[in-house]
């Protein structure tokens, strides 16, 4: 275990736990951003530079901001007396712990061909570009379509009722 991994992993996990457990929703979103950042550094440590930077651009630059906007637009006014957790929170926690235990056992008992990493393969941006335009061109077009559809869909879903309201007034 080397120090950069340890620091990034602890930071990522702690901020993830904070993101799901804090009372203030905006704090949760900010902690989630920290998780994304920690994950990006982990990607960089794994030698996936392009993915790490894309992770920051998309998740920190766009997703976190969208979440924050949604939080402000919905003004989730939890009344302080009410618990922020479900009624069955304990059971859910136990299930999660069980899932984690199962996964750990599975990871440790399974046969893995390569236990420690070989030197990182040089994956240049140029190569990614060639792959995207070559072997993966169909998924690329599909995702372009998906993003366009998502954009239009999101706008329509979020606008529909406000239009009705605007007509009614």
Partner 1 sequence: MTLETWLVFSAALFCVGLCGALIRRNAIIVLLSIELMLNAANLNFIIFWRYGVNADAASGVMMVIFSIGIAAAEAAVGLALVIAVYRHFKTVNLDRIDSMKG
Partner 2 sequence: MQQLDQIFVTLKAWALGHVPEPLQVPASIVMSIAPIMLVFPGIFALTTVAERKLLGRIQNRLGPNRVGPFGFLQWAADGLKTITKEDVVPRNADKVVHFLAPVVLLVSALLAYSVIPFGRNMYAIDIDAGILFFFAVGAGTELAVFMAGWSSRNKYALLGAMRAIAQMISYELPLLLAALAVVMATGSLNPNDMVAAQEGGRGWGAIVPNWFVFTPWGFVGCILFLIAAAAESNRSPFDLPEAESEIIAGYFVEYSGMKFATFFLAEYLGLFVISSMCVVLFLGGWHAPFPFFWCDWIPSWAWFLSKLACIVLLYIWMRGTLPRLRIDQLMNFAWKFMLPMALINLVVVAVWKYTRPWDYFGAELVRWLLCVGLLALPYLLLGRNLLSNRKWGPRTYRYAS
Would you tell me which residues interact with partner 2 (CB under 8 A)? 26-27, 30, 33, 40, 49-50, 53-54, 56-57, 60-62, 64-65, 68-69, 72, 124-126
The C-alpha atoms of residue 104 and residue 98 are separated, in whole angstroms, by 10
Distance of closest approach, residue 137 Cβ to partner 1, in angstroms? 11
- CA distances (Å), origin 100, targets 17, 79, 87, 97: 14, 32, 22, 5
CA distance 36 to 59: 7
Q: Which of residues 25-54 bind partner 1 (CB under 8 A)?
A: 25, 28-29, 32, 35-36, 39, 42-43, 46-48, 50-51, 54
User: 109 touches which of partner 1, partner 2, none (CB within 5 to 8 A by kind)?
Assistant: none
- Distance set, CA 130 to CA 103, 105, 135, 161 (Å): 36, 39, 8, 44
CB 15 within 8 A of CB 38: yes
Residue from 73, 81, 126, 169 in contact with partner 1 (CB under 8 A)? 73
Q: Which of residues 81-120 bind partner 1 (CB under 8 A)?
A: 82-89, 92-93, 95-97, 99-100, 103-104, 107-108, 112-118, 120
């Amino acid at each position: 275990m080397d120090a950069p991994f340890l620091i990034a992993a602890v930071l990522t996990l702690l901020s993830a736990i904070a993101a799901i457990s804090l009372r203030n929703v905006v704090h949760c979103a900010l902690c989630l951003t920290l998780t994304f950042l920690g994950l990006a550094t982990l990607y960089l440590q794994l030698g996936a530079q392009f993915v790490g930077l894309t992770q920051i651009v998309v998740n920190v630059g766009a997703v976190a901001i969208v979440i924050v906007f949604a939080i402000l637009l919905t003004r989730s006014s939890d009344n302080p007396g009410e618990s922020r957790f479900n009624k069955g929170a304990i059971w859910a926690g136990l299930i999660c712990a069980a899932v984690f235990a199962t996964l750990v056992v599975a990871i440790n008992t399974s046969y893995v061909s390569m236990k420690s990493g070989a030197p990182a393969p040089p994956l240049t941006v140029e190569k990614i570009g060639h792959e995207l335009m070559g072997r993966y061109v169909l998924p690329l077009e599909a995702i372009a379509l998906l993003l366009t559809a998502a954009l239009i869909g999101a706008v329509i879903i979020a606008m529909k009722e406000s239009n009705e309201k605007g007509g009614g007034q």
